[in-house]
Structure 1
């Protein structure tokens, strides 16, 4: 019993450490990505100040027409970066022509405010976070290479003592561990602080909401049509390659049997058995196709029981946490069922996982589903994983899909579907 408890504790601790490590690595990636927009923002900010100074002698007016495009360029890069890591911020397109038109545009004025904040505070936050991470790694590894440094320059940055022995170098490594702990604690907060001005200042104005809704509806309609066409092709292929061939075989066997009855009645019995077997096989394949259109288990037992059945049939042990107090629209339940079936099939065939978990919630008209496994990771659309088909089904219902699958795992699939009644 103690061994089981100890093993469970180790698994929980391993999960906590991996999740925290993933959060810290994501924060570091965000900080470095923020530097990729903060540095151009700082350069454009300096250029704006230089043009303003040159306007005093008349030269700046020759350079002023290019300023709106220069301001828009880093702002669009920041919109694209933030959209990759959270809610989408739509691009604004080309900047207004001319300085007067640009200054009259509220979007450009907000971009100028963002440029000032991100080119200064965002740059400082990004440099501080990246420097702290690099310094922590350098100090932790310092005992391995400090002897290669010149004797008069053997003390690293941020260290206030001179290094003359292995004990001093070990103290530097301990200091590096402290820096690493500080980075682990503050890195997510630094990433949020760096992204906050962009989230607030680069978001589209209120009058852009209607255009955004039209664009989303158009994308949803296209996704629904694509999903419908894909489903029709799947059904046609199943009928053509399976059921139709079986029925053709039945027809051929029945024709041969009729001719055999006229010549040799004894030889007709085996042909009738083959025709019956082919007809039964065709009927079974036809039932499979019908279940693929809308599984009867959804109508008979409900979505919760249907998903629990899929988890029980998964090729790896799958824990379930399902809380669906009501019913959803039939199309939503079918989508959730097929997405879960496809995802658990991927877990069984491709992940190399030892365990998986399925969590489903229905809250406030939103059906959320999370599937996680401890496999090798690296899942991506276009590699035979079925993620492209899953995404198409979900987008057809104006839903959201997020897949996190770093090399080495774990893989987490999260889905949200608006659940109409």
Structure 2
């Protein structure tokens, strides 16, 4: 408030985060998180509660996120979150307050999250979030803009997020995101490794993704992901098509993902993803091409994605995807077939993707996808079902991916 901003965090539906509800409750606000369609994120727990699910997230050591502290309390773990500089997240302050710890969040450059600003304001601390390159989060830019700070997010390689590129583009910055090796993602995995967690997911930096849904299904929750418009993901369209839903993904500006462009093209929609500043994701390269950037996606081994081949074909590039062990994806097989390449996908442990099973079927390969820990992807369940395999995808810790809902 010392900065002159009139609308605190929890009063603005535009500012999202995982712990505003507790704060909201304490302030007497009547509309909780999961009641506001404007607030998106990890809201399955409230939904879980409303569905009567017996085993909530924090009861399963396999499912971690923003509320593990309650689980920590119930298990008697001795080292609370806020005592370990390696453990970052949005909920430790409330816990910290209840334990009487003297060093609040905003005093430790190692502890980052989206809620310290409101707390900072109430305590009179002079150094706001956006002044400390060690403190990252999703709402400092709006706050920064309203306070007149001169150094925007994209000027600090330590500050990462999903919307700096559009902003960067609009101001003419020359170094795009993918040029900075300092831009990584969720760093909680390293800590999990150091604690000796047994779950393969956390021990293997290669296996990332939302796996709570499989657990949700196994606990008897009746409403799967694709039935709740509040729960978004990258593969609901295929399922949507098979269920006869009338409003496809690309028709709802609230639902974003990585595969709507191809579908959009085939339907004749006029405004592609990269033309809408509101829609961000893994195919911004086409926008990059349109802006005159010289290094296209497929020329940088660091930039991988699922739709560059079609673009590659239309541009006449000579080195197809499957020739570069660094570039993996889901549609090279069709291209491979049309070029007469002799080494099919499933013969190369370096090339993994989503459609080798159909090819495998046509070649008579004996070892199907789900039998090879080296080959993981989104399509083996349909094959698994047709072969009578008993253990579904989410029962095999070796096979993880984003479209298992497809077969539920």
TM-score range, shorter chain: under 0.3
Higher share in strand? 1
Higher relative contact order (CA 8 A, sep 6+): 1
Whichever structure has more helix as a proportion of its residues is: 1
Superposition TM-score, scaled by structure 1 size: 0.24
Compute the TM-score of the two structures, normalised by the length of structure 2: 0.24
Greater C-alpha radius of gyration:
1
